[in-house]
Amino acid sequence: MGIVVQKYGGTSVGDVDKIRSVAKRVAEKKSEGNDIVVVVSAMGKTTNKLVDMAKSITENPCKREMDMLLSTGEQITISLLSMALKECGYDSISLTGLQAGIVTEGIHTKNRIKQVDTNNLKKHLDDGKIVVVAGFQGVNEKGDITTLGRGGSDTTAVALAAKLNCTCEIYTDVDGVYTVDPRIFPEAKKLKAISYEEMMEMASMGAGVLETRAVEIAFKYKVPIYLAINTGDKLGTYVKERDKEMEKKAITGLTVTDDILMITINKVEYTTKNIALIFDVLARNNVNIDMISQTAPHDNLVNVSFTASKDDVFTIKDVVKELESELEGIDVDFESEISKISVVGIGMMNQSGVAAMVFKVFSENNIDFKQVTTSEISISYTIDSSDKEKAVEVLAKALNL
């Protein structure tokens, strides 16, 4: 038996009773002979409550102080879980991000893990203790407390597993990775296994079960992830290196992303300089652009469309004002009822015809798509949100998901 890293998210440790249940599950795994590192998030709504307090003091809280504030959430959970483990008769110790050797870099509230020093942690494992680590947090080289941003506890767990060279079990309130989000398509099938590459595409496209950054680290260091429901009573999904079995299947899953904004800049005079200008101004304003399309020139004018997150709507409006002063005669449309549907599959690389099949399904069902982009293992379409449910259903059935 070796070391296992287990991660329990905010809903799994939402109250004292749930912390007690987690302690029981961790204790079971320990009594099977494993050395256990448990990574936990803040309890339930704790982080939201702390954010609300900060927002009631200032609209724009200092990010360093925000990290100082938010990191208390995980610190509360680790101490309570460690107490609960001792109450079950298991020796245990809690460690903050700093004490667990998580060194970060980057900007506050969105730090990245730079290095992990597990010496202190290993010493406690060698003493037979269950080590409970605060997820989501670390310390930078100045000694400031830092946090890793959304999904940061997943990242902590995978980074520790990478350094300890062991499996990472992620327990959450969903019971695995499905071919399609079961809330949209209840007939969706649970995947027994999925490759890192597919999981990264699924995660970045909003599958929401696992943070992209965590999957990236797992991919880089070949950390086997097991993702399952926190009650442990259903088989979950393995995220691992791709194998022959996976490659046989053209399509692994289908993801849907809402809250997309599609902007079309009509009647742009067609010069390379003008097109470059548009994306330069967007980049200078830190707007993350996803899909881009452009019509063929007509009377030397083109229409340029791109999608972005609705979060950036105010920044984009500023960008458009700047563009209107630079590009004479343009005319800008905003569409906010847009969804993105992506089909993902490692097998796509070896099989042609997936795109053709999707086009055919859309055409047979009178679904208009606005844009299409492809990567090696995915094809994405933007459609009207009103067509979303129909599109998911016909695609999922046609692709046997």
Measured from the CB atom, is 87 or 187 closer to a copy of itself? 87
Q: Which residues are 334's β-sheet partners?
A: 263
Residue 307 among known ligand-binding residues: no
Q: Is the dihedral of CA 164, 81, 134, 15 positive or negative?
A: positive
Q: Which CB sits closer to a copy of itself, 131 or 177? A: 131
Give backbone dihedrals phi and psi of 372, rounded to 5 degrees, phi first.
-145, 135
Q: Which amino acid is at 55?
A: K
Residue 173 is assigned to a ligand binding site: yes
> Which is closer to a copy of itself, CB of 67 or CB of 175?
67
The nearest distance, CB 50 to a copy of itself, in angstroms, is 7
| Residue 183 in marked binding region | yes
CB 84, min distance to a copy of itself, A: 5
Nearer to a copy of itself, 108 or 340 (CB): 108
9 is in an annotated binding site: yes
Minimum distance from residue 259 beta carbon to a copy of itself (Å): 28
Q: Which residues bind a copy of itself (CB under 8 A)?
A: 16, 19-20, 50, 53-54, 56-58, 61-62, 64-66, 68-69, 71-72, 75-76, 78-80, 82-84, 86-87, 93-94, 96, 99, 120, 143, 145
Instruction: Please report how close the Cβ of residue 312 comes to a copy of itself at its closest, in angstroms.
Output: 25
d(CA 75, CA 81): 10
Annotated ligand binding at 106? The verdict is no
Least separation in angstroms between residue 398's CB and a copy of itself is: 52
Distance CA 174, CA 206 (A): 14
Instruction: Please name which of 299, 303, 322 lies closest in space to residue 264, comparing C-alpha atoms.
Output: 303
- For the CB of residue 364, give the shortest distance to a copy of itself in the complex, in Å: 56
Known binding residue 8? Answer is yes
Is position 144 annotated in a ligand binding site? Answer: no
Minimum CB distance to a copy of itself, residue 72 (Å): 4
Query: Nearest distance from residue 160's CB to a copy of itself, in Å?
Result: 18
* Least Cβ distance, residue 158 to a copy of itself (angstroms): 24
The answer to whether 212 is annotated as binding is: no
Q: Is the CB of 67 or the CB of 290 nearer to a copy of itself?
A: 67
Whole-angstrom distance, CA of residue 179 vs CA of residue 154:
21
Report the residue number, 61 or 149, with the smaller CB distance to a copy of itself: 61
Q: Which is nearer to a copy of itself, 75 or 264 (CB)?
A: 75
Report whether 74 belongs to an annotated binding site: yes
Q: Which is nearer to a copy of itself, 81 or 379 (CB)?
A: 81
Nearer to a copy of itself by Cβ, of 71 and 382: the residue is 71
Instruction: Please check if 24 is assigned to a binding site.
Output: no
What is the SS3 assignment for the chain? CCEEEEEECCCCCCCHHHHHHHHHHHHHHHHCCCEEEEEECCCCCHHHHHHHHHHHHCCCCCHHHHHHHHHHHHHHHHHHHHHHHHHCCCCEEEECCCCCCEEEECCCCCCEEEEECCHHHHHHHHCCCEEEEECCEEECCCCCEEECCCCHHHHHHHHHHHHHCCEEEEEECCCCCECCCCCCCCCCCECCEEEHHHHHHHHHCCCCCCCHHHHHHHHHHCCCEEEEECCCCCCCEEEECCCHHHHHCCCCEEEEEEEEEEEEEEEEECCHHHHHHHHHHHHHCCCCEEEEEECCCECCEEEEEEEEEHHHHHHHHHHHHHHHHHCCCCEEEEEEEEEEEEEECHHHHCCCCHHHHHHHHHHHCCCCEEEEEEECCEEEEEEEHHHHHHHHHHHHHHCCC
Known binding-site residue numbers for ATP: 7-10, 172-173, 178, 183
List residues forming the annotated binding site for substrate.
47, 74
Binding-site members are 7-10, 47, 74, 172-173, 178, 183
